[in-house]
A and B are shown apart, each in its own frame.
Chain A
Amino acid sequence: MKALKKVIHNLDPKFEKGGKWEKMYPLYETLSTFLFTPKHVTKKGAHIRDGVDLKRTMFMVIIALVPCLLFGIYNTGHWHYELQSYLNPEQYAGYSDYLTGFGDKVVYGLIQVLPLVIVSYAAGLGAEFIFGFIRGHGLHEGFLVSGLLIPLTMPADVPLWMVAVATVFAVVIGKEVFGGTGMNILNVALTARAFLFFAYPTAMSGDKVWKSGTKEVMAENGGLMPDGSSGATALGDLATFVGDSPSVAGEALSASASNGALLDKFQAAYDPIHAFIGMIPGSVGETSTLAVLIGAGILLFTGVASWRIILSFFAGGFVFGLLMNGISANAYMDMPAFYHLIIGGFAFGAVFMATDPVTASQTQYGKLWYGFLGGGLAVLIRVLNPAYPEGVMLAILFMNVMAPLIDHYVVQANIKRRQKRFKTA
């Protein structure tokens, strides 16, 4: 270790101003600070510099994302073979069981998901390096996390070039335009997802993308889904409760069926325990609330994420879910409120997206408001707008924009309170 450190520090002068490889400084700085804490020392004022700098903070988030990634890989494989088992019942007998064919599912998942991760990192780091060279600084750390978040928020079947385009868009328009890491208004990973969602809706939503390989299976089956299978997510199914022709897991139900009967069918198809563990189709990393909570534990234990945001986000979703139960105009509104927290990307958004320290509220009270309103808005968008079955992405982006406003009012209220105290004293 010490020897390596010595080698690197001996290289220092060559990269500094006037050195031989001055132009390569951004590259060098990136790599050297990745291995060792930078040797910057505060020279003026009484500032304390923690050894845990941004790179190490970001690394904690990556570690916290690993459970989601691993589960996502397996889940992708599972739903692929589940669909295959409808088409070739003999060859894939029992594959609709969650744990049968473990090896096959892991291998397929890896083949589908790893390229997404690699492309996302390559495209994003490429864009960051270009801006780093132009502006003369090293690679900014923020993208280490965004690069892993982006593939986790996509359906596993999304074409790789779309991931690259969306990543470059998010890095350049979402971040570099505003001045780079720490200056962005919107969460970078969600910007990439929102871009794809609006630019290529057929690849990002509907009921043909959530199970990997749906297109191939349909092509083999004469353009139709195999009998008895469904490609929709739980949220996609729920959205039909608002429309005219409700269906659960591909099975059409009569529109006249009572709300209670619809919900019973739904709960049978998406058992809460399964939904909590994540055994439902969806974007790569979002399905498992369990894996997300393990990640949340790591983030909270290391003090990287704010418990205020996570807790209030869940609280907001639950309270607005109850509110919808109170209105209960259709089957969707009647759904038990806790379901909102375990299906779709709600938990993933609450733990990994809403807590982004750059785009969230900065004040303590502001964080509570920010999380609560974000969670509530996510449920509102889900329930009231069937065109957007998943509301978490839009809710968090909207709250990102509102965060400075929330902070402003919190700070003003604090000033007023203290002025009052000063007057009465």
Chain B
Amino acid sequence: MKIRDVALIGILSATITAGKLVLSFVPNVEIVTLLFIVYTVVFGVRKSFLASVVFSTTEILIYGFSTWLLGYYLVWPLLIIVTGLMSKKMESEYVYATIGAIFGYAFGALFAIVESIFYGLAYGWVYWLRGIPFDLIHGTSNFIIILVLYKPMINILTKLKASYYQT
């Protein structure tokens, strides 16, 4: 790994953390999913995965350790892998908006699985059921945000990558 890769991963994870904090006052509306998808398409799975590890660790530093944060180490890499596989075949923003929507709708269920490991199946079930309205907001807002912003962001980042990264 080159120094510029380390710098890039730092910048990517910092923008994701900042993007999350900026929208933290609106429950379950976020641009983290959009950023991970766009970064994976432009910079690839490996760098995005490392950015996700830095991002998840930063979350622990900000909010303190709790079991739900462990889920971050699983769900973001999962999104990156799915995006990485799709990016080889698909370019349409509708595909990525759909991935983001499915990811948002399933977010509570994915975390419920992690919570079940620690607190039992009954807790995981209730955790998921209670969070359904939040998952609906999450998936729907992901779809809209990605559909609107995916193409412009891809265009800007591709140009920036050509100018500053691929020298």
Same assembly: no
Q: A residues engaging B (CB < 8 A)?
A: none
Q: B residues engaging A (CB < 8 A)?
A: none
